[in-house]
Structure 1
């Protein structure tokens, strides 16, 4: 039975690798604004076609900005479509960047999900109000904890060839929903691990930004920002959570209450100065560096805070509340799915991509959604995070009516990311799967719990594509095939590379079809 038949309506049967010829997919990220990328696509897609691949999952961030693309981009897109047709490859474009939302936030950086700061103290001086730590905060002279792998002398913490964890920490009692800036200078010499700064509140991680430390660098200052959220007991940790060769040094660690950095301005993230009116008692507040470095849609953890311009008398105390984004790892931010303008952008994106591509199917990019349900737009709906995402999924699926819709499994999978205590998400993602009609095809990359995950979606009536490889040995796909044989509705296998490594394209295809 051809896999193509499985894509049509009707009861699905188990995928039998001994009889079926699975439809092979290739995940292909690119940028068709660059002419040379067409030549690269021709080379890779030709190889894929010869190896038996029939579908290309096409990820191009420029598709989220089609209203701003020039004629050259659309010409290249047409050439790519023609190339795919010549090679008998179906293009399935990615859209709806829910989770990794930088592309969407290129249109309006204020649409990022906001974390609240409540009643921070500002004091007026010389026509400007700036934050004053309340209560005062600084790193104490005594460590809360220090691993034996860390030695300290003259204010410098040194780690050398550590065989295990190497951390030092400080403990604080802080107000809830306040924002703090931590800075430190770091020097390395051939150090292989990645130094981190973590903030933990009652075991919950409040700070996930990467520092970007080089393996060898002179003294360089690094910054992170965290929000205490609903925690008062907070630990701040400096260190590495593993072994490493080389030398790492820390000095000049500082903490301060942060001012108006990345302050959001939109209806669902209000800026409030208690007892005073914007435009009357103080000038309108906006951060010109919000989501604008090094280009639109990218957010810096730290830059010079905005001051409140006012003619109020010196010494006037203000209580200020606002919202700021939670930045994850290397700049990941998530759009607020409850803000009406976000929904308008999703509508516009769907319309433009469908007109430009005319594809049979589209891939919803809901994936690793790490910040949600913390700003006023979400909270006023009185729904848990899972219910919010379910509603968003229904909305997005409806925008693609008449097409085959695909989506990554993880945010709808209780054996993957659809649970509670997930990064900066308030509440639980449980129940998000209720927003997916059974006609939506699941692109399943949950290798670690593949048996449970595949069964979960199969029992709900979904067809599935096994998203394998992930820059691991290609033979690993055979484990996916074994698990896929246990459930109904597996209709394909995908070569999924995040490193643009197509070396094993043909080998993967052979293993997938053994």
Structure 2
């Protein structure tokens, strides 16, 4: 996210938190950990850019050129430069002698270093500086028939809305009367009768456990009226992810009517200081006024909300809703305004009513600074006797709408907006001859409601596309040989080009249609945290439309993680020609130029290359895994694999090394994970690299990283046997398949045999084999000896687990199945078979086998002779099962009774 305030471009920092897990000293830290060698990456580096945002009225060209030198030393070839003064250069002269001198020195210095200079201009979404001397050029929002009453020579707004119990005087315990949902009353939200601004009570919310502490209400409004929500807050050491008054259309929660943040008075100039993520914030009672347009809403959903609160308290009191039609009133020829009696009889501005004039419009602390905190201007009646005391009139017009941290957009398609942009670009081109321009149409959060947009275009996307078209047509004419760039977000359906983006009128779909792919390069940006889920689709979208692209990289995050994620997102995408080191902190973070340059800008000769790395996505402490590495080597070398954290600090939770000869090789390394690795989801990465034989990481080449590896707890297996599937009838000389599910805590010996269920001790078909630690199914092929006595119905199948070298007396798990019949071989081939109360016929079966029983049956399961489940059916007292799809052979039928007992028998299928 890019944020421009106080005439200087700023950004809210998204820092990926450092992990405090301890570092192993077995391997030294690798300073740079690229995922791919630069000759084999998805993103080309023809454009090797660095963004510099400065204020040359205060900064010096010498200091900025020192940054340029550091970037150039690492291979950069392009500087993207922004200064609030370049956004208005040439409109009202220059920014002063000092700025002119420093700007010339900087521009000449970049050229002297044989680098391209790209001016970043027209900050359309944060355009306070461009319209500072004419704030009426901000985007307008319509007011329709908002009522006013004549009182003492003025037209005073008539209340058209009411918020009940905003002073919190009515309550029951900690529940607020006439409000709606309330988070955790008595735990995180309270009625406070000790601390209050007025009356006898206030509403208190506390930050606890990272949870939400909110209260909701709804109130009626009239469409297309401007209102101001006024309230008072007091805080004590409040820390939370987000603090806001959330104002939405009750019937369409996707439509936020404003996103303006809470604010306090700025001490230096009286403007507003906005905040949304308080950190140990303590305020005395402070008045906050947030204006919004109801748009199509007839009911508003309001939440006084603390999100992700961890510590501290906030008190809310005296919440009310005010009609404020004249606040930030706009007076432009292309924005119609009217006033009339309630019955529709017309009145005239300038004759009957003075034109509203808000002298604080766009001048909160300095020119171009907007707010909704100030009181709206009075609307004066011109004393000609036409309007009488108490008369009701209605007013129509447009007002400006600051949002977020007080930002405003320029009127998208106003001719003067076009003219100002053209004048700025022409002046910069004439004075400095830059190599190109980046048109800064980013995060345009208001607009689309003016007649030039709403009346001439069916969607806001089409209206914005027209503004983009005109701006670039002028640029192409002014700088016919220039390079042209455009931030991606407002023309990307995967980003901001969709419906209900902040307070834009409707969908921004198709806003990209007027961009010229032959001339304009897309500067595709995402914050690092969003790259994995969103960047690939975004890059592919523009590639499919044949745009060249550069990526806005770094974004004040871990350089290696950011690089890794961009490379993965760009895999297989054509037309990505470069990158930009972009920092958005208030003072700019240029401490990462060198490691960034090593990854993005410097090309290395690749002598040894890791082609691919195949490693598990989940590991457990102390476990050993097989890691497969495909490698190309020009000479004998070593392959090293390390398991470490995705981010700083450098760590090592295991390492393996194997020598390889020259040529293409696939090697497998046995890798044991360290015992001290902390459990964490997706926090680790496999790093594989090549190094000359016997040398360490300093000579590494061909690095490949597999990120997103989780460390999970070791699975504990208890010794057990379950689900023994055996035939209920056997015969001498016949072979049978039995299966049993087992869980073993360590390597054990499994034993299985058929035995008489009485003395003397016996075993038939005895088998013994080892099973490894874990859980699995054991399937055995057992042949009954010819000496097996027949005609006896008192056998049992026996299976048990015992330690290696142990016997039955040492068993750790035992499972038996009794009631087994031993019949002569011919008996198993009769057409009717009885399995302890279950009759199965015919057997052998051709196409159908029938089961009959008086027992309570649940399911029939038919298994292959190898123990694989083939059919599972719900059982009835008489069931016919189609076996025509089974090939000729012997199958095991397992019937589960309602008490859980299982009966099994052998089914022969012969078609």
TM-score (norm 2): 0.53
Instruction: Work out the CA distance in 1 between the residues paired with 2:230 and 2:332.
Output: 29
Runs of 5+ unmatched residues, structure 2: 1-37, 167-176, 194-200, 264-274, 341-345, 604-911
Whether contact under 8 Å (1:26, 1:56) holds in the other structure is yes
Secondary structure at the aligned position of 1:133 is classed as: coil
Q: Do 2:158 and 2:323's aligned partners in 1 also have CA atoms closer than 8 Å?
A: yes
**Alignment match of 1:174 (pick from 188, 196, 221):** 221
2:118 is equivalent to residue 92 of structure 1: yes
* Count of aligned residue pairs for this structure pair: 500
Give the match for residue 338 of structure 2.
272
Match of 2:148 among 104, 108, 122: 122
The aligned counterpart of 2:390 is 315
Query: Cα distance 1:341–1:127, how it changes in 2: closer, same or farther (>3 A)?
Result: same
Residues 19-70 of structure 1, C-alpha deviation per residue, up to 9 Å, x if partnerless? 9655321111111222x33232122222111122111110111012223323
Change (3 A) 1:81 1:414: same
TM-superposition CA deviations, 1:256-308 (whole Å, max 9, x none): 22241100010232221121111111223211111112111111112121112
> Match for residue 590 of structure 2?
502
**How far apart in 2 are the matches of 1:382 and 1:451?**
31
Distance 1:441 1:15 in 2: 22
The answer as to whether partners of 2:369 and 2:406 remain within 8 angstroms in 1 is yes
User: Per-residue displacement from partner, 1:294-344 (whole Å, max 9, x unpaired)?
Assistant: 111111112121112112321121101221122111111111112221111
Aligned partner of residue 464 in structure 2, secondary structure: helix
Q: Distance in 1 between matches of 2:39 and 2:295?
A: 47
- C-alpha displacement of 1:153: 2.5
Question: Which residue of structure 1 lines up, in the alignment, with residue 307 of structure 2?
Answer: 241
Hey, what's the Cα distance between the residues in 2 that align with 1:121 and 1:39?
A: 59
Spell out the pairing of 1:9-24 with structure 2 (5 A cutoff): 16-17=40-41, 21-24=45-48
SS at 2:111's partner residue?
helix
Aligned to 2:181: 145
- Stretches of 4+ moved more than 6 A in 1? none
Contact 1:157 1:251 in 2 (8 A): yes
Asked whether the 8 Å contact 1:24–1:53 carries over to 2, the reply is yes
Alpha carbons of structure 1 residues 160 and 21: separation in structure 2 relative to 1, 3 Å = closer
Q: Which residue of 1 aligns with 2:318?
A: 252
Alignment partner of 2:461 out of 386, 410, 419 = 386
Following superposition, the deviation at residue 18 of structure 1 comes to 8.5
How far apart are the structure 2 equivalents of 1:142 and 1:158? 16
Counterpart selection for 2:64 from 41, 49, 53: 41
> How has the CA–CA distance of structure 1 residues 135 and 473 changed in structure 2, closer, same or farther, with 3 Å as cutoff?
closer
User: Which residue matches 1:443?
Assistant: 523
Do the aligned partners of residues 134 and 20 (structure 1) sit closer, same or farther apart at CA in structure 2, a change above 3 Å counting?
closer
Question: Which of the residues 109, 113, 126 maps onto 1:83?
Answer: 109
Q: Matches of 1:315 and 1:263 in 2, distance apart?
A: 24
Please state which structure has a larger fraction of its residues in strand: 2
Indicate the structure with greater helix content.
Answer: 1
- Is the Cα–Cα contact under 8 Å of residues 139 and 446 in structure 2 kept in the other structure? yes
Cα distance change of structure 1 residues 356 and 139 upon mapping to structure 2, 3 Å threshold: farther
Instruction: Answer whether contact 2:43 2:578 (CA < 8 A) is retained.
Output: no
Match in the other structure for 2:875: none
- Distance between the aligned counterparts of 1:299 and 1:139, measured in 2? 31
> Which residue among 353, 357, 360 is the counterpart of 1:286?
357
Q: 1:21 to 1:411 in 2, by over 3 A?
A: closer
Alignment of 1:84-483 (within 5 A): 84-136=110-162, 138-139=164-165, 141-148=177-184, 149-154=188-193, 155-163=201-209, 164-193=211-240, 194-201=242-249, 202-203=252-253, 204-212=255-263, 215-274=281-340, 275-310=346-381, 311=383, 312-401=387-476, 402=480, 403-438=482-517, 439-446=519-526, 447=531, 448-475=533-560, 476-483=562-569
2-structure distance, mates of 1:350, 1:118: 37
Choose 134-143 or 243-252, whichever is displaced more.
134-143
Q: How far did 1:135 drift?
A: 4.9
Residue 346 of structure 1 aligns to a residue in which SS?
Answer: helix
Contact 1:15 1:489 in 2 (8 A): no
The separation in 2 between residues aligned to 1:258 and 1:417, in whole angstroms, is 30
Partners of 1:121 and 1:318 within 8 A in 2: yes
| Conservation of the 8 A alpha-carbon contact between 2:43 and 2:567 | no
Contact in 2 for aligned 1:386/1:432 (Cα 8 Å): yes
Indicate if the aligned counterparts of 2:207 and 2:308 stay in contact, CA closer than 8 A.
no
Higher Cα Rg, which structure? 2
SS of the aligned residue for 1:72 comes to helix
CA distance in 2, matches of 1:122, 1:424: 26
Q: After TM superposition, give the deviation of residue 181 of structure 1 in Å.
A: 1.1
Cα offset for 1:466?
1.0
Q: Give unmatched runs, 5+ long, in structure 1.
A: 1-13
C-alpha distance in structure 1 between counterparts of 2:558 and 2:497, whole Å: 28
Cα deviation, residue 16, structure 1: 4.1
- Check the 8 A contact 1:190/1:247 in 2, yes or no: yes
Please name the residue that 1:8 is paired with. Answer: none
1:188 and 1:104 mapped to 2: Cα distance? 36
Distance 1:28 1:319, change over 3 A: same
More off after superposition, 138-147 vs 162-171: 138-147
Counterpart-to-counterpart distance in 1, 2:506 and 2:107? 42
